[in-house]
Amino acid sequence: MTDREQFITNLVKGTQLVKFTNTRTSTMIWLISAFIFAALLTYIAGPYRSGIAYELLSSFQFFFESIIGLASIVLLIYTAFDFAIPSQRSVAKRLILPLTILIIWIGFYVFGLMYPALEPAMADKREYCYSETFIYALPILLVSLLWVRKQWPLHPKITGLLLGLAAGSVPALIMQFACIYEPEHILIYHILPGLLVGFVGVVLATVMLRRP
């Protein structure tokens, strides 16, 4: 028996049933868990803005930008999980859609500086919304990194960035319903800490997601 034959014989010894976890299933589980986690923590730390349901239904712009925010998170996390599976598809092509939607989402708030979706008001302002956004995102990011670590991430830094952006965007989006609606405040105190989690994701990924 040659070395290779012996090696293969050893490898196949004790072969067991292996179940592939679908990227869509992972995305679904992640979305539900991350939103429940961030929404609950936000609720425990302080009440949501009063009349939020009415605002969502009455302002198409506010509703639409929230939907785009959600779509951005879905695409970011789906792409991150997809990056954890070996594939020959172009890295740039895979990144275009999630990053474009993220930019469009942020663009809504830049547009809102001139044409806000809701009348800017200081009512129901949260004292520490920026740190809440950042802190709530960290456990989500850590769990996501541990999850992806079990897969086969060939581009650890990109995967970390996408996971960080997705994890940071969840509390950032929730803050639109829990804190005041004022585009400048949203960009600086909700979106920016969310984006910073993306960089934390890159840093953590270099340690936690070394290519297998």
Residues 60 and 67 sit within 8 Å (Cβ to Cβ)? no
Q: Which is nearer to another protein, 10 or 92 (CB)?
A: 10
Q: Does 1 bind another protein (CB under 8 A)?
A: no
What's the min distance (Å) between Cβ of 28 and another protein?
16
Member of 38, 39, 73, 84 binding another protein (CB under 8 A): 84
Binding mask 114-153 for another protein (x = CB under 8 A): ------------------------------------xxx-
Sign, Cα dihedral of 88, 17, 79, 199: negative
Residues contacting another protein: total by CB under 8 A: 32
Look at residues 58, 65, 160 and name the one whose alpha carbon lies nearest to residue 106. Answer: 65
Residue 60 contacts by C-beta under 8 Å, 6 or more apart in sequence?
none
C-beta of 85: minimal distance to another protein in Å? Answer: 5
For the four alpha carbons of 82, 101, 157 and 194, in that order, the dihedral sign comes to negative
Residue type, 103: I
The verdict on 79 binding another protein (CB under 8 A) reads no
CB 101 within 8 A of CB 46: no
The one among 1, 88, 114, 122 contacting another protein by CB under 8 A: 88
Q: Under rule CB under 8 A, which residues in 189-208 are in contact with another protein? A: none
Which of 1, 11, 114, 123 is close enough to bind another protein by CB under 8 A? 11
**Do the beta carbons of residue 47 and residue 124 sit within 8 Å?**
yes
8 binds another protein, rule: CB under 8 A = yes
- Give me the least distance between CB of 1 and another protein, in Å please: 12
Among residues 191, 157, 164, the alpha carbon closest in space to that of 65 is found at 191
Tokens of 47: 């009440």
Tokens 């979706």 sit at which residue? 117
If binding is defined by CB under 8 A, does position 211 make contact with another protein? Answer: yes
Instruction: Give the whole-angstrom CA distance, residue 209 versus residue 212.
Output: 8
The smaller minimum CB distance to another protein, of residues 4 and 93, is found at 4
- Shortest distance, CB of residue 207 to another protein, whole angstroms? 16
Residues within the interface to another protein (CB under 8 A): 3-5, 7-23, 84-89, 150-152, 154, 211-212
